[in-house]
Structure 1
Amino acid sequence: MASPIHLNSTAHTWRFTPPHPSSSPPTSSPTTPLTPQTFHRLLPFYTLTPLRSLPTLAAELNLSHVLLKDESSRFGLPAFKILGASWTFYRAVCERLNVDYNDTAMLRPGALGVVVRERGMEGKFRVITTTEGNWGRAMGKMGAYFGVETVVYVPGHMVEGTRELIRGEGAEVVVVDGDYDDAVAAVMERAESDKESLMVMDISFEGYEDVQKWVVEGYQTMLDESDQQVALITGGNPATHTIIPVGCGSIAQATTQHYKSDKREKNGTAAATVIGVEPTTAACLKASLQNGNAVQVKTQNSIMCGMNCGTLSTTAWPILQAGVDASVVVGELESHHAVEELHRLGVKAGPCGAATLAALRVVCATEKEKLGLDEGSVVVLNCTEGAREYTVPT
């Protein structure tokens, strides 16, 4: 594959370098392991999220289709994160408690909490994690659903309103004096000193990589839904391009694997062009691609707080290095203007979700031909976050 394209959009220069279920879920057969997709569909709050067609935008940019996967309401939360969080929470807790995750009786509300109490672990066993916002809410929701105590560490710059949303899902919130990476370190320290606590995070590092595979697996549900919806809208044509927020890399890893997979090519579908987008405050993928090795960057506050991660997951980095075709960096105003544009189009997106539209406008204005964006292109924007309050940049 050719070297990825890196774009700093502000300079516009390119460089190549839940409700309770009414009945109990069925018990799965030992010969049919539970998949993330089946798991999600067995949860009582599962619904398909929409893929919205934006024909006016497609016509303006001279593209065949611009389609937006709208994750503004997923399992009752305003972000896609719960897809990875729910499956990871379930698998990790089942593994720690040594119960069979294929036994879908464990999917009943409170079922894992019953096991905790029966083992005499109540008040001792808990799940601990860290977040910039949406992952923590999702983990709190799953903790409440399964009846397992959950503690979420958050960076000091997180606004009180977001902390309250996490508490509102039933989680305890611990504020760390520092940024996201400092909160990660705090969780690691607690997990080391408190062996009863189970660390469940959506970032991998040396010695902590097994959990990340469940996070990535969980996001496959969104991608499978999207493929089916794209085919329905386009009359059978697949996506040719997809734009995905990066953050610590989990959803970008899942997306890259999906659109570059051998399975896709065996089905007669060409690999799609994958474009990653990051905020100027935390462009760790761009820096890593330019360096040739994964590097950490110091972050600053951003309205795109869910993407404001200065370190890539160790499992995500090799996938992104090999598979991402272009990395785009967008500024605060560009994200805000994309939020406003999507709101006018009837899509209630937040800054992270709207960043994909900002990235599309940048690539169409600068290197459209190089990325093969033309009148035959089917572009999927992954809008990963619903509308929320933020300080409007100036």
Structure 2
Amino acid sequence: MSDSTQSSHIYLNSKVITLENTPSNESFEFHQKLPFYTATPLKAAPITAARLGVRHVWVKDESNRLGLPAYKILGASWATYRELETRFGPFQSWSNLDELKEQLKNIDVTLVSATDGNHGRAVARMAKWLGLKVHILVPYDMVHSRQQAIKEEGAQIEVVNGTYDEAVAKSATMAGEKYLVISDTAWEGYERVPNWVVEGYGTIFREVDEQLKPQPDLVAVQMGVGSLASSVVRHYRSLNHTTHVLGVEPMHAACVLHSLEADELVEVPGPHTSIMAGLNCGKTSPLAWPLLRYGLSGSVAVNDSFAEEAMRLLAQDGIVSGESGAAGLAGLLALSTDSTRQALGINPNSSLLIISTEGATDPQAYERIVGRSHHTIKN
């Protein structure tokens, strides 16, 4: 069932099924060996809860994850490790990255990835930790601050005269003996690495299980190519959970929503110009698609005004969340009818979980939207 307004477009999924799935603990154990590991905080957002008319809103704050301002390092690090082990392993037992780096010292390989910001920086950080070269492809319209952050990790940047999807396509052509592509989206013949990316994100929800009891009634999650949403579905739509999952996308890059409506993968051509830069994707990962098709309770596409409102609202609760980070809340703000909220199990007693996937990765834009620097916001 679809409901569309000029500023949002909502689809309620009638195909939801319970998934028989038991996520692995391996990636969680791996992440605990990495520098700066600690569980990211789960923060209460009472002002946001009042605005949404629910009992609790909880925000998993990924603005400082393993020393980076976004969650992407979880997927990038696990996928890089597993792919290196597949190509050059098995590795001897190791307890810290210096011991792993020593085992890679004679390997001549360059990590390659396409990115709209955070994933590429995460791959570059993993390359720096392991002493490897790294080549990152970015779309032509990536803001300078995000490009600069990737360069500061030691990466060689290539600006592609096209969209994120075109950068992904070009990265795929570079795969070879000395180039290891670490992508969070899949294509024909390339699914192993993206699957490990999804596994890596599972650490977020292992931590939430320890931080939040009982389970939330609904998780609102942003969707680019669908990898993070896949991880949410794997965790919360298993036999032991009845949690609803709401996917959120920019209005003009809503490839998952349109695919759900068509009941098949649909591409949304660019340009994709939302301020939610991490979600400007026109193609759903085919690896993610089956999980999203049968695991999402609903999908909502929103225009940028909802993301801006969400950023300001979270700031009132002392939470710094960038444009893409606030997208989950943006989707909840767009649920304008009682019937839609009821279909998603939202009522005055509900407990909702939002994944704030990034901090202020574009500080100038953040200050313009919120009206003050992210440095002035304290929980």
TM-score, normalised to structure 2, is 0.88
Q: 1:293 aligns with which of 235, 241, 264?
A: 264
Report how many aligned residue pairs link the two structures: 354
Q: Does 1:303 align with 2:307?
A: no
Q: Report the counterpart of residue 275 of structure 1 in structure 2.
A: 246
Q: 1:261 aligns with which of 238, 246, 257?
A: 238
**Residues 227 and 239 in structure 1, CA contact (< 8 A), matched pair in contact too:** no
Distance 1:97 1:73, change over 3 A: same
Distance 1:7 1:276, change over 3 A: farther
Residue 111 of structure 1 aligns to which amino acid in structure 2? L
Q: What displacement does 1:364 show?
A: 5.4
Give 1:381-392 correspondences, 5 Å limit: 381-389=354-362, 391=365
State how far apart, in whole Å, the 2-side matches of 1:55 and 1:339 are.
15
Q: Does 1:208 align with 2:179?
A: no
With 215-224 and 294-303 compared, the bigger mean Cα shift is at: 294-303
**Residues 6 and 286 in structure 1, CA contact (< 8 A), matched pair in contact too:** no
- The higher-RCO structure (CA 8 Å, 6+ apart) is 2
Q: What displacement does 1:360 show?
A: 1.2
Q: Which runs of 5+ in 1 are unaligned?
A: 18-32, 232-236
Q: 1:353 aligns with which of 325, 331, 335?
A: 325
Per-residue CA shift, 1:136-155, capped at 9, x if unaligned?
11011110001111111111
**Residues 167 and 173 in structure 1, CA contact (< 8 A), matched pair in contact too:** yes
Q: Does 1:128 align with 2:112?
A: yes
Q: Report the counterpart of residue 200 of structure 2 in structure 1.
A: 218
Please tell me whether Structure 1 or Structure 2 has the larger radius of gyration of its CA atoms: 1
Per-residue CA shift, 1:304-362, capped at 9, x if unaligned?
01011111111100110001011011111111121112112211100111111111122
Q: 2:36 aligns with which of 37, 45, 53?
A: 45
Q: What displacement does 1:87 show?
A: 0.7
Q: What displacement does 1:378 show?
A: 1.1
TM-score, normalised to structure 1, is 0.85
Q: Report the counterpart of residue 181 of structure 2 in structure 1.
A: 199
Q: What displacement does 1:195 show?
A: 2.8
Distance 1:337 1:16, change over 3 A: closer
**Residues 11 and 299 in structure 2, CA contact (< 8 A), matched pair in contact too:** no
State how far apart, in whole Å, the 2-side matches of 1:6 and 1:71 are.
31
Q: 2:139 aligns with which of 155, 160, 168?
A: 155
Residue 165 of structure 1 aligns to which amino acid in structure 2? A
Q: 2:48 aligns with which of 57, 63, 84?
A: 57
Q: Secondary structure at the match of 1:349?
A: coil
**Residues 61 and 364 in structure 1, CA contact (< 8 A), matched pair in contact too:** no
Q: Report the counterpart of residue 75 of structure 2 in structure 1.
A: 84
Give 1:130-145 correspondences, 5 Å limit: 130-145=114-129
State how far apart, in whole Å, the 2-side matches of 1:137 and 1:290 are.
33
Between the two proteins, what is the percent identity of the paired residues?
A: 36
**Residues 335 and 351 in structure 1, CA contact (< 8 A), matched pair in contact too:** yes
Q: Secondary structure at the match of 2:40?
A: coil
Residue 171 of structure 1 aligns to which amino acid in structure 2? A
Q: Secondary structure at the match of 1:219?
A: helix
Q: Report the counterpart of residue 94 of structure 2 in structure 1.
A: 104
Q: 2:174 aligns with which of 185, 190, 214?
A: 190
Distance 1:160 1:337, change over 3 A: same
Q: 1:250 aligns with which of 214, 222, 227?
A: 227
**Residues 9 and 329 in structure 1, CA contact (< 8 A), matched pair in contact too:** no
Q: Secondary structure at the match of 2:159?
A: strand
Distance 1:110 1:302, change over 3 A: farther
How well do the aligned residues superpose, as a CA RMSD in angstroms? 2.0
Q: Report the counterpart of residue 26 of structure 1 in structure 2.
A: none
Residue 341 of structure 2 aligns to which amino acid in structure 1? K
Q: Does 1:95 align with 2:77?
A: no
Q: What displacement does 1:206 show?
A: 1.1
Residue 62 of structure 2 aligns to which amino acid in structure 1? E
Q: What displacement does 1:16 show?
A: 5.1
Q: Secondary structure at the match of 1:352?
A: coil
Q: What displacement does 1:14 show?
A: 4.7
Q: What displacement does 1:13 show?
A: 5.9
Distance 1:185 1:342, change over 3 A: same
